[in-house]
Copies of this chain bind each other. A is one copy, B any other.
C-alpha cells in the first residue's frame, strides 16, 4: 500500500509511534498533526511542547531520558536565570531555547506556526510533515478540585498534575480553523489511514477533535481510522492518563474505555497483548493485539507496522 498517512499526536507517546511510522513508511508519506492546546507563552517566548517533542524525536535529537527537550542538553541559561530571580518551574535547555526564541521571532514577524514548524523540520532533516493542528490560538485549561481553573502548563508542569481534574476546556477551539493541509489530507482519496497515536485522549487528542470540522471529516473519511491504546493493563505508560478516568468520572482506566471515549470515530484499535482478555469482549472497532510499550526503536517500528497492517486489513 502507498498513500499518505495522517497521525494525530500529542507529545511523548505519540512521538514514539510517529517515529516508528516514519521508519516503516515511504519518505514523505507521513503527516503528523500535533496538538497545540498545550502551547503557551512563557518568559515572553512562544512554546509549543508537542510540536517540539515530535520535531526532536523525528529529527533524532530528542532526550530519551525525559521524553521532552533535546538530548545532550545543557542548562547554563536556566542557572543564570535562577541567579537573576527569574521563573524556573518550566525548564528550558540551552539548545531547546533556540527553538523557542527563533519561533517567537518568526511568529512576531508574521509567519504562521505552520510555516515555522515546517522550516524547523526541514532544518532537522525530517522527511515527514509536521502540522500544528491549527494556526489559530487554542489553549487547554483545566478545572481542578483544589485550585479552580488553571492554564494547562500551570497544572501540568508547575503543579506536576497534582490537583485532581474535573473538567477541561479548549479555549479558542470553537473559533479556530483546523490546519488546511490537515483537512485536505483527510479528504484526499489516496489517504491510506488515520492513526490516533497512544497520546492522552483527554488532553492531547481531544483538542484536535474539538476543532470545527475535524470530527466530521474523520467520520466522513473513506480511509480507516485506527487508534492505539495509551492504556496497558489499566495503567498509562506515562503521565496522568489513567488517573484522569476517575477524576473525570469515567470509571476505571482501561484500553476499552479509551476506545469507548473515541466512539464511532474508530474503525480499528490496537491494544496491548496484555489486554487480550479485554479485547475479546470488545464491540465496535476491529481490534489487533500488539506490543504497545515502545522501549526500543524496534518496538516503535513494529507497532507502526501493526497499525498499518490493521488499517490495510480494514480497507481490503
Asked if B94 and A81 sit within 8 Å, CB to CB, the answer is no
**Residues 84-108 of chain A, each 1 if its beta carbon lies under 8 Å from chain B, else 0:** 1110000001111111011011001
Query: Hey, which bits of chain A sit against chain B, CB under 8 A?
Result: 43-45, 70, 73-74, 76-81, 83-86, 93-99, 101-102, 104-105, 108, 119-120, 123-124
Give the oligomeric copy count: 2
Q: Chain A's interface: helix, strand, loop or mixed, by majority? A: helix
Give Cα A96–Cα B81 distance, bound, in whole angstroms.
9
CB distance from A78 to the nearest CB of B (A): 8
Asked if A80 and B105 sit within 8 Å, CB to CB, the answer is no
Asked if B80 and A98 sit within 8 Å, CB to CB, the answer is yes
Q: Which of A77, A95, A97, A105 has the most CB of B within 10 A?
A: A77
Q: Which residue of B lies closest to A108 (CB)?
A: B44
Q: Looking at the complex, which one of B43, B85, B99, B104 makes contact with A84 (CB distance below 8 Å)?
A: B99
Asked if A45 and B101 sit within 8 Å, CB to CB, the answer is yes
Asked if B105 and A43 sit within 8 Å, CB to CB, the answer is yes
Asked if B108 and A81 sit within 8 Å, CB to CB, the answer is no
Asked if A94 and B77 sit within 8 Å, CB to CB, the answer is yes
| Contact A81-B104, Cβ < 8 Å, known A44-B44, A74-B74, A74-B76 | no
